[in-house]
Chain A
Amino acid sequence: MKYWPILWGNLKRRKARTFFTLLSIVVAFILFAYLAAVKVAFRAGVDVAGADRLFTTQKTAIILPLPKRYQEEIARVPGVAAVTHMSWFGGIYQNPNKGFQGVMQSPVDPEDYLAMYPELLLPAEQKAAWLADREAAIVGRKTADRYGWQVGDRIPVQASIYRKKDGSALWEFNLVGIYDGAEKGTDTTQFLFRYDYFDEARQYGRGIVGWYVVRIDDPSQAAEVGKRIDTLFENSSNETKTVTEKALAQSFADQIGDIGAIITWVLAAVFFTMLLVAGNTMAQSVRERTNELGVLKSLGFPDRGVLGLVLAESCLLAILGGGLGLVLGALATGAGDPTGGFLPIFYFPTNDVILGIVFVLLLGFVAGTLPAVSAMRLKIVDALRRG
């Protein structure tokens, strides 16, 4: 590290420029973190979809219900390991503008549901409490944090579809558990309550569910098993369409369509432009010092030494700025999505953190290489003359 003073001195010679270049690299990498998180958000869970899970929905449209009795029939289909169901509740918490935006609320069978989604981590005693109380509900960590809920709270939810038998639209649930996600991408926004209670208390629509989630024995048989299920209900008044969880998530991503793609592309374009500008500034600051490099060489610095010095300088700047940017970006995206809960899955994936580090190093090398190579090839006489 005996060259440290030279490196440091070079960075300090135009403090303002070094500082602004550093900050623009920081900003670029914060943007990169958002880019990664937005990309994940618009892919709507495609990357974390379980390979062994299928979704059986009504064939005409996903909003149309299916009879509850289908559950037993699906369970008997060869290749099916387990079946559970979900339904769209669509309630409002507090007021329509704030309440439950982006929060999936569903009545479920607690045991079956938790067995179907092992990535939902619920403490055993909370699970027992859920099974013991018909009016009990559990919620994901993200939603609990968003509304400041704690276990033991009574949560009033205004139904917009299902009324209770007495005509009231107000459903109240006892919050007995808060689940965490086993992975970064696990959706921890869901609000889940008991189907048995819901079905008995609702005014109409008894005996129907929204859709089925099916676990299969062998993911490679997904297409065949799906076909078997759909054949079962062919020509009934409720024909079904069975697809993998991944395909369903992909179809939602496709439905969002160009908007997601455009925003992702814009972010990517911005990120690379910022890198280009920062890289250009870094390269320029070396070009301006051509005659100094000449002096170094005339003092006996070897070509490689000069190359290393210039590269080290640009890498140092890139690593300082990029590292800080990635850390800040991870903190910012971790603090929540910038839309106030509209995007339930929003995080900075580990793969993209690694990609970010690669970009940091690339920035350092590419911005440094061109001026470094020309510095290395420099003839002392030319360099000194250029003063």
Chain B
Amino acid sequence: MASVSNWFSQVSAVTTTAVRTIPQRRGSSLATIAGIAGVVAVFVAVLSIGEGFRKTLRAAGSPDNAMVLRAGSDSEMMSVMLGDSIEIIAQAPGVARGAVETQGPDAPFSSAELFVIVDQPKRTTGGAANVPLRGVSPGAFATRPELKMIAGRKFEFGKSEVIVGEGARKQFSGLELGTTQKWGVNEWTVVGIFSAGGALWESEIWTDARVLQPAFQRGNSFQTVIAKLESPAAFDTFNDALTTDPRLDVQVMRESDYFANQGRTLNGIIRGLGLVISVLMGIGAIFGALNTMYNAVASRTREIATLRALGFGAGAVVVSVLAEAVLLALVGGAIGAVGAWIFFDGFRTSTLNWDSFSQVTFAFDVTAPLMIQGAVLALALGLVGGLLPAIRAARLPVTAALREA
């Protein structure tokens, strides 16, 4: 017991000396801190892009909403459903019912939708961007209760009017309240602006599907049907009823599963590039840390040898060098993670979601787990960068080291 406490007091004595002398090695210590801060900042920032993007898609997918597409279509854009199947789907078992605007007090909460894109200029570049335009049925607002008007009013069914998501209004020009745009053969007036709790819908423009059909030459066809189910558990009943109905040729997905899948191209790009950048930077930072710690050991050669001569153990020396490396790394990691949070969290942008071929607006999301991952990365870099120099320090032959200048 006594030896253990002795060991600890040795460790704390040597470590304290090491840490106190850091200011003497200011230059290289600062370089290490900066290097590791950079790695962590970039790591956290790049991953926060993916995090924010996923969050936007996730917010769109409600687990008690079911999405019906044509069998074999993996996105809304590619699906086609004819008008006569819409009513069969709306009346299927498991669909929640209630009062729906223009449909009466006991209507199914379901919405047949069209999903097209229109060219609108992006504010940052002025270039045309694929802005999603969704035609919905009256049940749409019951299936997405998160949708709230923040300016103006809802469009009137049957009229050539649109409402614009807050994200779309900010990122693209020509979508302010009261403006008029020509898309297809119609002129459309923006009568309202809505928010949707950060969900994907905020990137979209909404209108009446029945008005959109002739304007885009869609006859009586739709692309998807969204239905609010009585409960998430009612999904199987609903799914079985539709997929066994010989009149239909459809597949049913939970809305949450569908949207989780929709970002895979962009997620793949960010994950792939993020990995390469992080690995390369991490390797670079380890070399930086190694150099700093070898320097630290070299400049403390005499001191370490003196300690060893006085009877301090090799273990204490190893721990002290490692502790110094870890301390520098954690300081760097904290600076990097907090810096990423200050500069990137909430940064709003829009990009092309290749899976829906349309623009998605979202905010970078520097989450606490991401910052912790960054700190863990810093810790790992510090340990790896400190280990070899620590072993070198412990192995210094005492007599030779004492003689060294």
Interface residues, chain A, CB within 8 Å of chain B?
Answer: 14, 16-17, 20-21, 23-24, 27-28, 30-31, 34, 38, 59-64, 90, 92, 96-97, 101-102, 158-161, 167, 169, 237, 241, 250-252, 254-259, 262-263, 266-267, 269-270, 273-274, 277, 280-281, 284, 337-340, 342-343
Contacts and interface: CB of A to CB of B under 8 A. Distances in A.
B350 A257 contact: yes
B269 to A, nearest CB: 5
Interface string B13-40: 0000000000000011001001100100
B74 to A, nearest CB: 5
B38 A64 contact: no
A112 B77 CA distance: 29
Interface string B204-230: 000000000000110000000000000
B269 A342 contact: yes
Contacts of B183: 60-61
**Most-contacted residue by chain B among A21, A31, A237 (CB, 10 A):** A31
B284 A28 contact: yes
Given A61-B119, A160-B78, A273-B38, A255 B280 contact: no
A281 B28 CA distance: 9
Contacts of A61: 116-119, 130, 183
A281 B78 CA distance: 56
Interface in B314-373: 349-352, 354, 357, 359
Contacts of B261: 96
B104 interface: no
Given A63-B77, A270-B277, A338-B276, A258 B351 contact: yes
A159 B49 contact: no
Given A60-B118, A274-B284, A277-B35, A161 B73 contact: yes
* In the A-B complex, the 4 residue pairs with the closest CB atoms: A339-B272, A254-B127, A24-B287, A255-B352
A158 B264 CA distance: 19
Contacts of B49: 259, 262
Contacts of A337: 272
A254 B264 CA distance: 20
Interface stretch (B91-99, B145-153, B288-296): B288-296
26 contacts: A17-B294, A27-B283, A27-B287, A34-B280, A38-B273, A60-B119, A60-B183, A62-B117, A101-B264, A160-B75, A161-B73, A161-B80, A254-B129, A255-B129, A257-B122, A258-B124, A259-B49, A262-B49, A273-B34, A273-B38, A277-B35, A338-B276, A339-B273, A340-B268, A342-B269, A342-B272
Interface string B246-269: 000100000000000100111011
A34 B277 CA distance: 9
Given A24-B283, A31-B281, A258-B349, 15 more contacts: A21-B291, A28-B284, A60-B119, A61-B116, A62-B117, A63-B77, A63-B117, A64-B116, A237-B185, A252-B352, A263-B273, A266-B46, A270-B280, A277-B31, A342-B268
